[in-house]
Structure 1
Amino acid sequence: MTQGEMPPRSTRSRPTMREVAALAGVAIKTVSRVFNGVPTVDPAIVARVREAADQLGYRPNLTASSLRRGDGRTATIGMIVEDAANPFSAALTRTVENVARERGVLVLVGSVDENPSRERELAQALVDRRVDGLVIVPAGRDQSYLITEQRSGTCMVFVDREANLLDADAVVSNNRQGAVTAVNHLITGGHRRIAYLGDRVSIPTAARRFEGYRHALEVAHIPYDEEIVHQVPAGEKAAVAATERLLELPDPPTALFTSQNLVTIGALRALRDLGLQNTVAQVGFDDFPLADILSPGISVIAQDVEAMGRAAAEMLFQRLDGDESPTRTVTVPTRLIERGSGEIAAEGPRHD
């Protein structure tokens, strides 16, 4: 075969380094040096190799290349979230991606849908692909399955919830205080019959928010009533049904604290269907798109998702850069955003 002659293609779908070398008229080792960025390769040869690669549509195997490098890095990190379609997860992922992009690192993302088995499977799949680190929103109560990987050098940071049975960095919101703030705001509006709709208390964030709800009632000397407490799987349909049952009670609540964004949306849908959106007050935990343009706007306890994502990504890269300081948990404060629904007084709309 003469220089510049196209080699016969095999049955493989992807062109190989050998084919690039043959087309460029150089050794395979030279092609490898070009794509590994070795600076001593003659510029004319670099141009010839890259032209051949473009002609063939060749792309280097970055994972294989990284395994041959001294540091073994793949320039990828894995990210495990509850549900990539959820506004909270989507915003968190985007922020981590932005930080990773600044470092030339790719983020591989997967959803676990609050399934501990899926969390383990996805974490293992990402580790098997030699990601340099993991950002995890855990679903299960036991992350000890990652101890071996952690000892082997895989860096990891947990977000929204701390790891259990594993010593690892974490970034969380002040969930309990956020719930206290929400309920106190409703109490200030004259409400004493305040319902709670939230996710299952087996989920750490839901448990902290429920604790905050109960604490606020206790401090205000308002009796806790199980009849107006619904802990349902996060989702609009379940929240609609739960809200409808609450409002059909002989002594229905005058206000709702909905402690998860999908639950908030479901409760809002029920209120609007019943024509009670201007009568029953509502404060939700977690902001969501378009909450500010509804009538009334939905008052929420907003998490600073961008701050959480950036803190988690920066902590991970600090570990990858060699930080061996003791693990720590960063707690990001929440804030109340008043938009109208949470300012409906017990007697009706409040006009301050």
Structure 2
Amino acid sequence: MPGPHEPQSGRPSHDPHRGRPSRDAKSGQPTLRDVAERAGVSAMTASRVLRDDPQVLPATRERVRAAAAALGYRPNEVARSLRLGRGTGLVGLVVTNLANPFYSRLALGVDSVVGEHHLKTVIGNTGQDLDAERELVADLVARRVDGIIAVPAGADQRHLATAVADGVPVVLASRPPEGFAADCVLVDDFGGARAATTRLLERGHRRIGFLGSPPAVHTGTERLRGYAAALASAGLTVDARLVRQGQTEPRQATRAAAGLLALPEPPTALFCSNNRNTIGAFRALRDAGAGGTDGTHVALAGFDDFELADALGLPLTLVAYDSDELGRAAGRLLADRLHGRAAAGEPRHIVVPTSLVEYGM
């Protein structure tokens, strides 16, 4: 029997406005009512068809689906999910610098995993600005994202703790939680930096400069700690005159490296705490003529392997790790939280291992 709002004849009832849908005033898109009018059924029946209600007559289903296809109608999945008491199907990914290729690999890793769970990734860039991060996280929570994966800009993470308290699962990547419990995925920053600095020491270098990100950044702090530990193991102390921190872009690193090379007693090697600093240091060495194989050569090592590192034309030691796996691991941790597979109150920490790769040796 037809539903109470379906026409009895099996043919669409006459509607003088059929074919001339009144678009939604805000979005300009056809509405469910437009589909219903074109198919000659009630809005309730059209809704039942579009949510695959098996009790609707086959002929009616065909008419409604044909009308929806003809009009280019797309259901508002966010509104529908909220009405059904589900999430929006969106995961927020908060990063500090989209210009850094590391974050594009991280995002690809996250998206590959959450996509398997029929979730979409929304990426927001904070520019290493804590206020921008607070605003972005608050906006994601207000938009009812299912979860958030964040690379925090600093140690003040109260806004992320608030998101967790509001019922939004949060996973941190690259930096650990501060002041609240959350799952996180880290790189072996300390171990990788210590290994790269040790390799420079093994080659006879004793004046090794350090180029790093801002002191508030966890990765930079841990990599400076690894650098210092390697020096200590060789009976050396950190010379503050050889340390430059705060560079987030290659041009800043170029200036910092040039300053080190201009010292009365310049370093014979440089260790850089991320790929942006390594690229900047390479440019400074090239400009100073210190990247050759003669007596002016300054050895270069850095954290993060990067594309075309093998084409720079100088000996280069890099700390490598799978940045895609960092994202995949964060995505798996979040999926476990969303599907209730992780024990409440028991945060999990994963550390991605590192290795050394060498070019032009």
Please give the TM-score of this superposition, normalised by the length of structure 1. 0.92
Q: Which residue number in structure 2 is paired with residue 50 of structure 1?
A: 65
Distance across 2 between alignment mates of 1:80 and 1:244? 33
In our comparison, the structure showing a higher alpha carbon Rg is: 2
Distance across 2 between alignment mates of 1:2 and 1:40? 24
Q: Percent identity?
A: 42
Distance across 2 between alignment mates of 1:11 and 1:41? 26
Distance across 2 between alignment mates of 1:177 and 1:28? 62
Q: Which residue number in structure 2 is paired with residue 174 of structure 1?
A: 188
Distance across 2 between alignment mates of 1:85 and 1:53? 41
1:334 aligns with 2:347: no
SS in 2 for 1:38: coil
Q: Which residue number in structure 1 is paired with residue 122 of structure 2?
A: 108
> In 2 relative to 1, CA 16–143 (structure 1 residues): closer, same or farther, beyond 3 Å?
same
Q: Which residue number in structure 1 is paired with residue 8 of structure 2?
A: none
Q: Which residue number in structure 2 is paired with residue 21 of structure 1?
A: 36
Q: Is the 8 A contact 1:201 1:210 kept in 2?
A: no
Q: CA deviation at 1:64?
A: 0.3
Q: Which residue number in structure 2 is paired with residue 196 of structure 1?
A: 210
Q: Which residue number in structure 2 is paired with residue 36 of structure 1?
A: 51
> In the comparison of the two structures, how many residue pairs are matched?
340
> In 2 relative to 1, CA 37–118 (structure 1 residues): closer, same or farther, beyond 3 Å?
farther
Q: Which residue number in structure 2 is paired with residue 251 of structure 1?
A: 265
> In 2 relative to 1, CA 8–178 (structure 1 residues): closer, same or farther, beyond 3 Å?
closer
Match of 1:306 among 324, 333, 340: 324
1:129 aligns with 2:143: yes
Q: CA deviation at 1:124?
A: 1.2
* Matched AA of 2:46: V
Distance across 2 between alignment mates of 1:124 and 1:207? 27
* Structure 1 unaligned spans of 5+: 344-352
> In 2 relative to 1, CA 11–161 (structure 1 residues): closer, same or farther, beyond 3 Å?
closer
* Structure 2 unaligned spans of 5+: 1-12
Q: Is the 8 A contact 1:291 1:297 kept in 2?
A: no
Q: Which residue number in structure 2 is paired with residue 2 of structure 1?
A: 14
Distance across 2 between alignment mates of 1:318 and 1:10? 40
Q: CA deviation at 1:143?
A: 2.0
Distance across 2 between alignment mates of 1:39 and 1:95? 38
Distance across 2 between alignment mates of 1:237 and 1:299? 21
Q: CA deviation at 1:11?
A: 7.1
Q: CA deviation at 1:47?
A: 2.7
Distance across 2 between alignment mates of 1:174 and 1:55? 54
1:287 aligns with 2:305: yes
RMSD across aligned positions (CA): 1.7
SS in 2 for 1:98: helix
Please give the TM-score of this superposition, normalised by the length of structure 2. 0.90
Q: CA deviation at 1:148?
A: 4.0
Q: Is the 8 A contact 2:137 2:159 kept in 1?
A: no
Q: Give CA deviations for 1:241-260 in whole Å, capped at 9, x if unaligned.
A: 11111111121111000111
1:60 aligns with 2:75: yes
